[in-house]
Amino acid sequence: MSPVASSARAEDMALVERCRRGDLGAFEELYRAHAGRLFSVACRMLGNPADAEDLLQEIFLSAHRKLESFRGESALGTWLYRLATNHCLDYLRSRAARTNQVTDALDDEAGQFEPGGRTLAEQTVTKMDLERALAGLPEGCRAAFVLHDVQGLEHREVAEALGIAEGTSKSQVHKARLRLRTLLRG
């Protein structure tokens, strides 16, 4: 571990220790440092800010309970991402079960090499187009895509956050990009 990472880890542990002692100010500090990123992930994974707001509360309440078991083996941010994505995935599964939705099967090869047509680089892809297309992704690869391409995590961190192998993270992000390509070329 680099000296910078080591110092950041020590700061994480000091903050966590204050939170464990019931220091609300310390937990607010933790909230202010991470809430924006976690809310962005929840919004993009759930596709609905109102649901994301409710879930954000559950994520932080759950984090407060589970800080007891945080040992600093991963960065606090990565640990929180894992907690948040687990909450989001549970929520999506439960929502799918309530509404009898069937999770999309992902055709790995769809739209990969077909020739002809304009490339995305030749048409204008707005942020809004991409936000809309994100909602059309299957949950697993949406989570990996949001963490990697939107939030900028490395595959190693995505794998840690989602509890999957690094190779699976690469494959999920690739699948997501292919599906988005198909959706955006519409």
Partner 1 sequence: MTCTQYREWIDELVDGTIVPIRRAELERHLALCSACRGLAADLQTIRDTAASLDPLEPPAGAWLQIAGRLRQQGRVAPPTQADAKPATRHTALLAIAAALVLLVGGSIALIWTDFRGRNTAAPPMAAAPTSPAPAPASNAQTDVAVESVEAEFREAERHYQNAIAKLEQAARLDQAASGGPQAALDPQTAAMLQKNLQVLDQAIAESRSALRAEPQSAAAAGTLFEALRRKVALLQDTIALMNEMRKGNAAGAAQIVDGANKS
- Comparing CB distances to partner 1, the nearer of 65 and 73 is 65
Taking the C-alpha atoms of residue 156 and residue 148, their distance in angstroms, rounded to an integer, is: 10
- Comparing CB distances to partner 1, the nearer of 150 and 164 is 150
- Comparing CB distances to partner 1, the nearer of 71 and 98 is 98
Taking the C-alpha atoms of residue 144 and residue 158, their distance in angstroms, rounded to an integer, is: 6
- Comparing CB distances to partner 1, the nearer of 3 and 116 is 116
- Least separation in angstroms between CB 179 and partner 1: 10
- Least separation in angstroms between CB 101 and partner 1: 11
- 77-100 burial, b at 16+ Cβ within 10 Å, e below that, comes to bbbbbbbbbbbbbebbeeeeeeee
- Comparing CB distances to partner 1, the nearer of 43 and 143 is 43
* Residues in touch with partner 1 (CB under 8 A): 21-24, 27-28, 31-32, 35-37, 39-40, 43-44, 48-50, 53-54, 56-57, 60-61, 64-65, 98-99, 112-115, 119-121, 125-127, 129-131, 145, 149-150, 152, 170, 173-174, 177, 180-181, 184-185
Taking the C-alpha atoms of residue 29 and residue 23, their distance in angstroms, rounded to an integer, is: 10
- Least separation in angstroms between CB 152 and partner 1: 7
- Least separation in angstroms between CB 30 and partner 1: 11
| Residue of 153, 136, 138 whose CA lies nearest to 40 | 153
Three-class secondary structure assignment of 98-151: HCCCCCCCCCCCCCCCCCCCCCHHHCCCCHHHHHHHHCCCCHHHHHHHHHHHHC
- Least separation in angstroms between CB 98 and partner 1: 6
